[in-house]
Amino acid sequence: MENTFYFWNAILIITEEIVKKFAVTLLGCLFLLGLTNFANAQLKIAYVNSDRILAEFDEAREAQSKLEIEARKLEDQYKGMVSNLDSLNKEYERQKLIMSEARRSDKEKEITQLQQSIQRFQVEKMGPEGEIYKKQSELVGPVLEKIKKVIEKVGKENKYDYIFDTVAGNILYAEPALDLTDKVLYELKRTE
């Protein structure tokens, strides 16, 4: 009987602790909700979905289509080079036992040169500073700039302080007066 009393007493104590924690958490949430409402009353905030804009804006779709055509051309070239390398490797493996030392050395150099050529192609054409990246900047860059200007125009006309992108989570427009970048840089330079 006494064990039962301790058991129920322990459950009661645990339940009280849970209720206290829940009450504190609930009060904290209500407090934060109140702060959020207070902050929202002072700031005018909106958002855009850049994926949807890019999917529905004709100029963006056209630029993306042109970029995909260029990328496919480069991918086809790359696949052709890799196919040639595979053929060369297979031919070398089949015939290396009957090749002269000089012929074997020439084939190995040819394979190495093709491997290097493929690596150069990847860097020059498909790398971060490559042809496809430059083409993307050329085709998509002006479209993105146009979209950004329209977002800024809408933001200014409707007096939004911030416009967020739901996809990237980036700020696409902000009132210049709210930009603390210069102050932060000033403080960073002072601490040097």
Between 173 and 33, name the one with better pLDDT.
173
SS3 8: helix
Residues paired with residue 171 on neighbouring β-strands, in sequence order? 164
DSSP code at position 127: S
Q: Please tell me the predicted confidence (pLDDT) of residue 1.
A: 46
Average pLDDT over residues 12-36: 51
Rounded-to-integer distance, Cα 7 and Cα 96, Å: 83
* Tens of pLDDT, residues 100-125: 999 999 999 999 999 999 999 999 99
What pLDDT does residue 175 have? 65
pLDDT band at 37; cut points 50, 70, 90: low
Q: pTM of the entire structure?
A: 0.60
**pLDDT at res. 92:** 93
| Mean pLDDT across the chain | 76
Sheet bearing 171-174, strands edge to edge: 45-48, 162-165, 171-174
Q: Confidence class of residue 164 from pLDDT cuts 50, 70 and 90?
A: confident
Q: Which residues contact 99 (CB under 8 A, 6 or more apart)?
A: 107
Q: What pLDDT does residue 106 have?
A: 94
Q: Find the mean pLDDT for residues 14-40.
A: 51
- Which residue in 50, 19, 46, 22 sits closest to 174, CA to CA? 46
Query: Per residue in 22-33, pLDDT tens?
Result: 544 544 444 555
Q: How confident is the model at residue 170 (pLDDT cuts 50, 70, 90)?
A: low
Provide the phi-psi class of 159: left if phi over 0, else alpha when psi is between -120 and 50, else beta: left
